[in-house]
Amino acid sequence: MIPGVRLILLGKQGAGKGTQCVRLSHHYVVPHISTGDMFRAAVKSRTAAGRKAQAYLEAGELVPDDVVLGIVAERLDRDDTKARGFVLDGFPRTVAQAEGLESLLLPVGVDLVVDLEVPTEIVLRRLAARRVCAVCGTNYSTTNPPKVDWTCDVCGGEVVQREDDTEAAIARRLALYEAETAPVISWYRDRGLLAVVEGLGPPDEVMGRIVAAVDDARGIPGPRP
């Protein structure tokens, strides 16, 4: 494995992007950049971006492109991303964001965009069961809880249901995915940068499929039989 990669993970809410991005960031030794996590942290600490984003997050609406591109530009300008790359999670979600990202990254683009495919009925079941650590954001579920009494295994924080995992906000986010983010998938396909990866199955298997697609895109031979 060659460390460093510039990777984007697309997929519906609940497709497993967060879980896979954490693993991929360890595998390729690059920062995991989640715009959702950045906005939740900004809302909590009441920064300017947080105050602009709060109402959108609560309603499951998309934060305006200029605000999103602002926080991403700042993050991509740090030394770790410049030197090693990144795994982007939850961004870009609109074609305008994809175009903005392309300009931010000039002259070098991304290595690959992975569309993690999971049927909507499975995603709805996963979102209803999803629980997260309120402090560090580690993902759990009602079928995969922390070891002790809804206390995070990683940091000891309280494990809760996300505030925007209500039925109404989930339905809104999935509708927005179809309307705004599905065109992003076509946008990357047209540029020859897209790999569609089946997101069903144990996380280790899904991770193996993604790594094989990334290595293939970078011309790195896979394991021989």
User: What is the binding site for ligand AMP (CB under 6 A)?
Assistant: 13, 35-36, 39, 56-57, 60-63, 68, 90-91, 93, 97, 164, 173
Residue 68 C-beta: closest distance to ligand AMP, Å? 4
Rounded to whole angstroms, the Cα distance separating 196 from 64 reads: 27
Q: How far apart are CA 21 and CA 9, in angstroms?
A: 7
Q: How many angstroms from the chain centroid is the CA of residue 179?
A: 18
Beta carbon of residue 213, minimum distance to ligand AMP (angstroms, whole number): 21
Residue 189 a catalytic site member: no
Q: Which one from 6, 40, 131, 162 is the annotated catalytic residue?
A: 162
Closer by beta carbon to ligand AMP, 42 or else 207: 42
Q: Tell me if residue 130 is catalytic.
A: yes
> Would residue 172 show up in a list of annotated catalytic residues for this protein?
no
Phi-psi label, residue 32: left if phi above 0, alpha if psi -120 to 50, beta otherwise = beta
Shortest Å distance, C-beta 116 to ligand AMP: 13
Task: Closer to ligand AMP by CB, 52 or 152: give it.
Answer: 52
Q: Quick one: 137 or 146, whose CB is closer to ligand AMP?
A: 137
State how far the Cα of 176 lies from the Cα of 173, in Å rounded to an integer.
5
Where are the extended beta strands (E) located within the chain?
5-10, 32-34, 85-89, 112-117, 130-133, 139-141, 159-160, 194-198
Residue with Cβ nearer ligand AMP (127 or 206): 127
* CA separation for the pair 127, 125 (Å, rounded): 6
State yes or no: is 131 an active-site residue.
no
Amino acid sitting at position 131: R
Of 63 and 215, nearer to ligand AMP (C-beta) is 63
For 169, half-sphere exposure in the C-beta direction (CA atoms, 13 angstrom radius) is 18
Q: Which residue is nearest to ligand AMP (CB)?
A: 36
Say which of 17, 40, 147, 172 is annotated catalytic. 17
Burial class for 46, CB neighbours closer than 10 Å (0-12, 13-18, 19+): exposed
Q: Is 93 a catalytic residue?
A: yes
- Mind telling me the catalytic residues? 17, 93, 130, 162, 173
